[in-house]
Structure 1
Amino acid sequence: MSIKLEELLKLPSLREAKVVAGKEGLAKLVSSISVLEYTEVDSLKEDLFNNDEFYGSEIVISALIMIKDDVEAQCRTIEHLHKVGEIGLILYYVGVFLPKIEERVIRLADRLGFTLIVMPEKEMSLRYSEVIYEVIEAIVKNDLASTSFVSEMVEQISGVPLQQRNMDTVLKILADRTRSSLVLANKNNQVIHAVTWPRTSTMDIFRTVEQYKDMVIDAVYREERDSLQPLFISKKVIAQEGIASMNLYIIKEKDSFERETAIQLAEVVQVFINLWGKHYDEISTAELMKAIMNDESVKMRRLANILNIDVSSIQMMWLMEVDNNFGAEKQLQKVREFIRQNFHVSLIDFYHQTLVILLDNSAIQEDSFQSANRLLDCLKEDEQTFTITICQNMNNTTDVQQAYLTCSEYTKMAKIIYPYKKIFSLQEINFAADCYHLINGGELAIDKALQPLSPIMEQANQQAEDLLSTLSVYLLEGNSRFQETADILYLHKNTIKYRIQRLAEILQYPVTKTPEIFQLYKAVAVYRMLTQLKEQ
């Protein structure tokens, strides 16, 4: 039940609208339309986006009234919409409530490939209902005209962001397309993935799968239910590497479905496994790690139960990277042994070439950074450069997923800001992300961030460069300590003392004075990032 976005723009209600960003997204399929008006962006982040739902292939209508004067909040909203798979935003009442579309918002949407459509500006007579009605009508008509959907669904799945391209997402897309509940079970009839339609359905699909586990393949059974609409159930075989290993249950309320629909559903699932994933029925820590990171909740709970791992006890994640190949079994064994000796609950395995370590809070009489330092000491003899990012206060697997995505996107930026560090915190990664977004916010934002350094930069000589270098290390890696800074720069402690004193004279305040230190800290970070990015 999809139609390309560029086709929707030909509708009478959208004919006068303008595409201001993300034109590459016009070829994407639209399966639904929804309205977004929210009072608090922070609440939006917590309540709407931090769950296991996938909103892929939707186009969103909004006037952004509650954040009309907050460009930062507008950017965060677009980022969140993009992360959960929305393909675009139709903006209403620009020039009425929302003053204008800021260039920063347009650049972000272009970078993400997120289509930004603006309805006629300074027009109060616009109605959401006109666009909603015509878009839904176009989608339904397209659905009725096209009974074959395999190629369309594969195209839609291929356009899903990599971090969301998993079996749960596939089943949600297919469930929306066919308005049926879908369950994928292994050869022992253990449920691996399950999606209900509608999402609010309270039907006990586990009972249904158990009840019909011996049903004839490809048959369609009808189950009568007291005071409820009847159920129609069918079962298709899914193979891995040519061997039948899973069953796909198709469950639909009220109306039956064509056998051809069931065949196509199974074909899409089969194609996805062949192209993008394997071993969905395996029981291993690697598969459990993948299920956690891919937000495959049913599979995660099943594997965690079988492997006897209490996922709910996980409260911390370490992400371990190495500058060259980290595939040696010897190294991995060292990490496993160290973690086993220091933590009660742990899960360790590779995910996208990063060693992910999920832990509880049971480190022996030391904080996690001390533990990470000891681990790096254990690995020193391997003559490789390791870095560890520590993500604490992970209250649930959604926190783990979000932290991983943030780290995978911005750790490179953090290494630019903190080139001497081997252990990072999630807060430092988030800070690096803020600095990166600030730099991409335009020259005015950059000038404002660097303003605290202007008295030093005005010196315009070698001394100024030495002072900036010393100040950067002193604040960013030296923990505002003379000896630590001296050790990093291979200088005498008294040299550092002299330079810090000279900086205080130029700035006319001590470099550790609050709140000035907060501005200085960000300024030297932005300065480092700008300098490094210009050289690349």
Structure 2
Amino acid sequence: MSVEFKNLLTLPSLREAEVVAGKAGLDQPVTSINVLEQSNVDKLRKELFNQEDKYGSEIVISGLMTIAHDVNAQVKLIQHLQHEGEIGLILYYVGVFIPEVDQRLIDICDQLDFPLVVMPRGEPSLRYSEVIYEVVEAIIKQEMEEMSFSNQILEQISNLPSNQRNVDTMLKMLTDRTHSSIVLTDIRGQMINAGTWPSISTLDLSYMVEQTTDASIQTIDSVSVVKRSIFHNGMETIQIYMFKETQPLTENMVEQAAEVVQIFMNLWGQNYEAVNTQELVKAILNDESVKMRRLGAILHIDVGSISNVWFVHVKDPAERKFVMYHLKEEMKLRFNVLLVELFEETVVVFMDEGKTEEDFTTIASQVFEHLQEEQLETTIVQYLGMNTTTDVQAAYIKMEKYFEQAQFLYPQQQIFTQLHFQFVAECERVVSEGEKAIRQALVPLQPLMQQEELLETLAVFLLDAQSHYAKAGELLFVHMNTIKYRIKRINEIVHYSVTKLPESLIYYRAIAIWRLLKNTGKRTE
């Protein structure tokens, strides 16, 4: 049995701590503990949680001192930690730096099954080192007693969200458990993925791969090394290399590591060794950075220049290949780097900054019109200025999560941007927070609540017609003057002009939430 989070709460240093939220997540295994010094999510994403690091079963310790009085930032941080694979937070200095644990923080932790453990309140003398020492000691003791780890790691992987269930995560778990560096290569010896122990190891992996030629454990330059083959359908497809610098590898350790890789490839690594643009797109969207760079080099594609992506939804699945063909033909003269592939049920288009001076809005409009001429019904979602594969993966996840809501909110829209999805996500967050948040958001509309016709007119005018009277009239099948009269009547009732800033922003948000709530029943049918 592995060390579960709930078992750690019996340690002397944690005995007086209180689990205030996320109790459903206490059964998760813990393999490491870390101190979180940076609480700013944007800086965390850039500086700590880069595209090569996923922490599968780690708990974090923090006093959240830099955001002690910013509950929204605390909630955002919890969401980010959970997304990155962290499994819980031990919170220090409540009543010292953080006045109290806000209910919103408790609610998000309960929603995500993310344990929030609060150390004794009002105690400035608490030390991180006491908990760190006892937790690490418990983990090491368990690892020494437990010789079998393959089933545990595979179970952990199977329980991960799909965006984290990739080779990089699997290697991170194996290197943490075996305290060795691990390299995967194709049958020609080309490096595909690598994980190092420790993470700052300066071991020359390419050199070690070249020197390691035997399937038996041996020592090269004081490093214990081994090479094993991984088979698929009876054929050798990839090779695993292990390098341990402090102690010799054991046959049991090597066999279990190879077993984890073998089963992972059978279950989740279909076509992993394939060299084609579809596998390159999968590597980008699965955030497998080493594989992405390796495939890019083989295919002579400058993946570093890719900064823009379209997600194209095709109404009729049978027409996807025709849409892909037309997209390639339309775009190849405009971009130096272009990838058009199918990922799951979405056509994905990766692009560099382009050869021409055309802006992306113009290009998207022209491409959409040409697809319409071919009677191909599509919806284009543009995410521009992506800096890393982590950004691209996050964009895809957000697009998939909120695509249906975006269509309900903007039924006339066929070309979306990331700003649409950021706004939809914000509206959905308000709806998910419950009645109090909803009532507060709808306060500007209260004078109109008994007048459905005026509410519908306002929704169409602001959300669908971009405040154009003629377009709103067309969409509602009434004369433009009727729209003008209704908007004037709305202004009189609410005592503000819904067509002028900043009032229009307030009413735009309120009517968007109203429309989402109105369509809730349809979305769940």
TM category, shorter? over 0.9
Q: Aligned pair in 2 of structure 1 residues 165, 424: CA closer, same or farther (>3 Å)?
A: same
| 1:416 Cα deviation after fit | 2.5
| 1:384 Cα deviation after fit | 5.9
Residue 17 in structure 1 maps to residue 9 in structure 2:
no
1:525 corresponding residue in structure 2:
512
| 1:353 Cα deviation after fit | 1.5
**What TM-score do the two structures reach when normalised by structure 1?**
0.92
Q: Residues 132-531 of structure 1: matches in 2 within 5 Å?
A: 132-212=132-212, 215-217=213-215, 219-224=216-221, 230-326=222-318, 328-362=320-354, 364=356, 366-380=358-372, 385-457=377-449, 460=450, 464-531=451-518
Alignment partner of 1:33: what SS?
Answer: strand
Distance in 2 separating the partners of 1:411 and 1:55: 28
| 1:211 Cα deviation after fit | 3.1
1:227 corresponding residue in structure 2:
none
Contiguous gaps of at least 5 residues in structure 1: 225-229
Distance in 1 separating the partners of 2:372 and 2:168: 40
Are the aligned partners of 2:283 and 2:289 in contact in 1 as well (CA < 8 Å)?
yes
Q: Aligned pair in 2 of structure 1 residues 41, 397: CA closer, same or farther (>3 Å)?
A: closer
Residue 99 in structure 1 maps to residue 68 in structure 2:
no
Distance in 1 separating the partners of 2:43 and 2:179: 30
| 1:472 Cα deviation after fit | 1.5
Letter in 1 for 2:514: Y
Matched length: 523
Letter in 2 for 1:220: I
| 1:451 Cα deviation after fit | 1.9
Distance in 2 separating the partners of 1:50 and 1:476: 36
Alignment partner of 1:342: what SS?
Answer: coil
Alignment partner of 1:283: what SS?
Answer: coil
Distance in 2 separating the partners of 1:25 and 1:337: 49
Are the aligned partners of 1:50 and 1:398 in contact in 2 as well (CA < 8 Å)?
yes
| 1:516 Cα deviation after fit | 1.4
Alignment partner of 1:263: what SS?
Answer: helix
Greater shift after overlay, 329-338 or 235-244?
329-338
| Root-mean-square deviation over aligned CA pairs | 2.0
Are the aligned partners of 1:240 and 1:278 in contact in 2 as well (CA < 8 Å)?
no
Alignment partner of 1:432: what SS?
Answer: helix
Letter in 1 for 2:153: M
Are the aligned partners of 2:381 and 2:418 in contact in 1 as well (CA < 8 Å)?
yes
Once the two structures are superposed, residues 415-464 of structure 1 have per-residue CA deviations (whole angstroms, 9 ceiling, x without a partner) of 2321221111101101111111122233333223222222322xx2xxx2
| 1:2 Cα deviation after fit | 4.8
Alignment partner of 1:194: what SS?
Answer: strand
Q: Aligned pair in 2 of structure 1 residues 39, 258: CA closer, same or farther (>3 Å)?
A: closer
Once the two structures are superposed, residues 346-383 of structure 1 have per-residue CA deviations (whole angstroms, 9 ceiling, x without a partner) of 11112222111111222755332332233333333676
Once the two structures are superposed, residues 372-425 of structure 1 have per-residue CA deviations (whole angstroms, 9 ceiling, x without a partner) of 233333333676642111001123323212212221222222223212211111
Distance in 1 separating the partners of 2:281 and 2:348: 8
Greater shift after overlay, 119-128 or 469-478?
119-128
Letter in 2 for 1:222: T
Letter in 2 for 1:342: R
Are the aligned partners of 1:415 and 1:421 in contact in 2 as well (CA < 8 Å)?
yes
Once the two structures are superposed, residues 195-245 of structure 1 have per-residue CA deviations (whole angstroms, 9 ceiling, x without a partner) of 111111122212221233xx122x122122xxxxx2121001011222112
Distance in 1 separating the partners of 2:493 and 2:137: 67
Letter in 2 for 1:109: C
Letter in 2 for 1:512: T
Are the aligned partners of 1:59 and 1:90 in contact in 2 as well (CA < 8 Å)?
yes
Distance in 1 separating the partners of 2:387 and 2:198: 28
Greater shift after overlay, 62-71 or 356-365?
356-365
Distance in 2 separating the partners of 1:44 and 1:167: 22
Letter in 2 for 1:357: V
Alignment partner of 1:49: what SS?
Answer: coil
Are the aligned partners of 2:39 and 2:77 in contact in 1 as well (CA < 8 Å)?
no
Q: Residues 5-44 of structure 1: matches in 2 within 5 Å?
A: 5-38=5-38, 40-44=40-44
Distance in 2 separating the partners of 1:484 and 1:370: 20
Are the aligned partners of 1:238 and 1:246 in contact in 2 as well (CA < 8 Å)?
yes
1:78 corresponding residue in structure 2:
78
Are the aligned partners of 1:52 and 1:398 in contact in 2 as well (CA < 8 Å)?
no
Distance in 2 separating the partners of 1:238 and 1:521: 56
Letter in 2 for 1:511: V
Q: Aligned pair in 2 of structure 1 residues 327, 220: CA closer, same or farther (>3 Å)?
A: farther
Greater shift after overlay, 51-60 or 175-184?
51-60
Distance in 2 separating the partners of 1:385 and 1:525: 25
Q: Aligned pair in 2 of structure 1 residues 204, 21: CA closer, same or farther (>3 Å)?
A: same
Alignment partner of 2:453: what SS?
Answer: helix
Distance in 1 separating the partners of 2:299 and 2:474: 46
Residue 62 in structure 1 maps to residue 54 in structure 2:
no
Are the aligned partners of 1:363 and 1:371 in contact in 2 as well (CA < 8 Å)?
no
Contiguous gaps of at least 5 residues in structure 2: none
1:121 corresponding residue in structure 2:
121
Distance in 2 separating the partners of 1:234 and 1:353: 40
| 1:521 Cα deviation after fit | 1.4
Alignment partner of 1:14: what SS?
Answer: coil
